[in-house]
Amino acid sequence: MPIADHAFRLPKPEEKYGNRKPEATLGKPLGLLRIRFASDVPPLKSVKSQSMSTITIAQRLERLPITKYQRLIFAVIASAWFFDCLDVAMMTFVLSHIAAEFSLNATQAGALGSMSFIGMFVGAASAGLLADKYGRVIVFRASIVIWGLASLGCAFAPNLEILMLLRILLGVGLAMELPVGQSMICEFVPARVRGRYVALLEGMWPIGFIAAGLLAMFVVPTWGWRGAFIAEAIPALFVLVIRRMVPESPRWLADSGQAQRAEQVMTQIEDNVKKSLSTSDQEKLLAEDKILFATPSGSCQPGGIRTGFAAGIIFKKPYLKRTIMLWSLWFFALLGYYGLTTWLGALLEAKGIDFAKSTEFIIKMSLAGVPGFFTAAWLVESWGRKPTMICTLLCSAVSAYFYGTATDTTIMITFGLIMQFFLFGMWSVLYAYTPELYPTYARATGSGFASSIGRLGALLGPFLIGVILPVHGQQGVFAMAAGALVSAAFMVFILGEETRGKMLEEI
């Protein structure tokens, strides 16, 4: 991959910390994450780029300490993840009510549960292409408008056909922001904590899942499933406002040849970071900048060089192998995951558990997802992306099988907790790993295409369960899901590569 800063290298652990032990950051509230300065790593050396010595956008971003400004950007993007999961998870809790109102059989209910994934397939692929061509922010803001209007429309759907069409449109809006959001976090956060932050971003999913269950528990009995969709649409206005606080990615601007605008945005980011620092910390950063900028040119230059159309580059070496791995991983992982979760409430009710009790069970099981994503966020930096991905997939498969075959309620809840712990951990690693494997000018496209392939699996999963359930029962359903997760782990094992600790421009 052609890059401007070939000479840049990451520090070895002993160079980074000297005789000091690295301070653990996981497990603390985000607001208390330790500020790390470029002095924690050796000063970046001047870099020879093509014909002149320059300081790249990547270097300027990498040397910044993590402050409340970057955490604010993270929080705004994370809010999108929360409301995404809130909507996707809601179908788990209201599917049986919709099926009852429209007199749906198992196959029709499975088809309805799959409709949003058709939209996600379209939304993720198109959003990636648009974000790499026109910018991250414009696509990020447009997604909330589509999602909010579609969610509100679902509440007033007069029949099954209209509801299906609106679920497709809602899926487009939801999926548009996923590849864009994860690409932005990757491009804003330094390599030393990048995997942790993207993994924590995905932690909004279990929280959103729990919130969906609580919302269903209090809203559905009184206002029905339509009231739940209205309640989901209201936060769209709030999210649309706060998303205006997120700047365009300076990495993307520089890579797309907009050097002047990249300089403006980068300067704005640096100023905001400095405002978040104490006087002594500002002096420390200033001293480091004197070393960093002691080169003939201090201007922004692209961190990479475009070598082709974004959609075409992911099918060329060295990205073809990564694309095959990611597409297989996303397809099988989402087939297994959504095949289970979309039907989870209905499957529990089929065992004779009423709506209130099944909702309570699902919320309790989802609580295990919170330590699951925290654990994954720690493992991706301490153990690595590849082994953590394989571990979470295999453990999810084993626990899902035993959950589905359990005959005792206590055993079922126990394995349900274990299953959710590893499933949400899997999501954290999946979103941390995917965008790192492509260059800046194809990052959103590569991530979006992988997500789209995953949506095919997500579309197929609920439908397959609707077909398998009447013939093979719940054991057949969970065996199918477990097999899909094992297949995903196998593809990562044979084709995956490690990205831990590397700058995006080095991968």
Report if residue 43 sits inside a domain.
Answer: no
Specify the 3-state DSSP secondary structure of 53.
strand
Report if residue 478 sits inside a domain.
Answer: yes
Report if residue 99 sits inside a domain.
Answer: yes
List beta partners, residue 3. Answer: 304
Contact (Cβ atoms closer than 8 angstroms) between residue 323 and residue 20? no
Q: Report which of residues 405 and 51 the model is more confident about.
A: 405
Report if residue 219 sits inside a domain.
Answer: yes
Report if residue 500 sits inside a domain.
Answer: yes
Per the listing, tokens 């991905």 go with: 389
Structural domain of residue 365, as residue ranges? 68-247+306-506
pLDDT cut 70: percent of the chain above it: 80
Report if residue 237 sits inside a domain.
Answer: yes
Q: What is the largest CA-CA distance in the chain?
A: 74
pTM for this prediction: 0.70
List beta partners, residue 52. Answer: 49
Domain count, the chain: 1
CATH number at residue 138: 1.20.1250.20
End-to-end CA distance of the chain: 8
Report if residue 360 sits inside a domain.
Answer: yes
Query: Which of 65-74, 129-138, 338-347, 462-471 is least confident?
Result: 338-347
Give the model confidence (pLDDT) of 19-36 as tens digits. 444 443 333 333 333 334
Give the model confidence (pLDDT) of 191-239 as tens digits. 888 888 888 887 787 788 788 888 888 898 889 999 988 887 777 666 6
Report if residue 38 sits inside a domain.
Answer: no
